[in-house]
Amino acid sequence: MSDKPVALASDHAGVDLKAVLRQAMEAAGHTVLDLGTNGAESVDYPRFADAMAAAIRDGHADRGVLICGTGIGISIAANRHRHVRAALCHDTTTARLARQHNDANVLVLGARTTGVEIARDCTIAFLTTDFEGGRHARRVEMLG
C-alpha cells in the first residue's frame, strides 16, 4: 500500500459525502489530499476529474476518490486520462473487484444514488484491497 495521500474530489453534488469520506479515511489512518470543491455553488465536474488526474500524474497521490451526483459524468471525464482507471461502484463487491481485477486507481461514487454507509464501505474496501496481478495484469496493460 502507498504511503502517499489519497486524493479526494467532488462537484457540488458530492460535497456532503466528500466530508463524510474524508473523515472515514482519516480515521482509517490515511492522509487526504482534498482537491475540492468545498461549497454548494454549482461547479463543472470535469474540472475535478482533471484535477484528480493531474494529482496522480504529478505523483501527489497514487489513488483517489471522485464523487458527483450519479458518479457517471465524473467517471467519464476521469477515464479520458489514460493513466486513470476510474471505477464507478455502487456496492462493496465491485469496489473490491475494481482493485483485485482492474487495478483501479480511482473509486467513483454517486452521492445521489449510493447511501452514505455503502459509500463509506466501498471506500474502505477500495483502499484495503490489493491488485491480484497474474492474468489481470496483461489485461490492465492492454488498457494502455
Determine which one of 60, 81, 90, 101 is catalytic.
Answer: 101
Comparison of 5 and 73: residue with beta carbon closer to ligand RB5: 73
Q: For the packed helices 92-100 and 116-128, what is the interaxial angle rounded to 10 degrees? A: 20
The residues binding ligand RB5 (CB under 6 A) are 11, 13, 45, 68-70, 72-73
Q: Provide, rounded to whole angstroms, the least separation between the CB of residue 8 and ligand RB5.
A: 15
Is 83 part of the annotated catalytic residue set? no
Q: Cell 479515511 belongs to which residue? A: 25
Comparison of 5 and 109: residue with beta carbon closer to ligand RB5: 109
Region class of 134: left (phi > 0), else alpha (psi between -120 and 50), else beta: left
Q: Provide, rounded to whole angstroms, the least separation between the CB of residue 36 and ligand RB5.
A: 14
Please give the Cα distance from 8 to 51 (Å, whole number).
10
Q: Provide, rounded to whole angstroms, the least separation between the CB of residue 68 and ligand RB5.
A: 3
Please give the Cα distance from 42 to 79 (Å, whole number).
22
Is 89 part of the annotated catalytic residue set? no
Comparison of 104 and 111: residue with beta carbon closer to ligand RB5: 111
Phi, psi of 136 (to 5 degrees): -75, -25
Cβ burial, residue 144 (10 Å; 0-12/13-18/19+):
exposed
Q: Provide, rounded to whole angstroms, the least separation between the CB of residue 10 and ligand RB5.
A: 8
Determine which one of 12, 68, 89, 122 is catalytic.
Answer: 68
Give the residue numbers annotated as catalytic, written as ranges. 68, 101
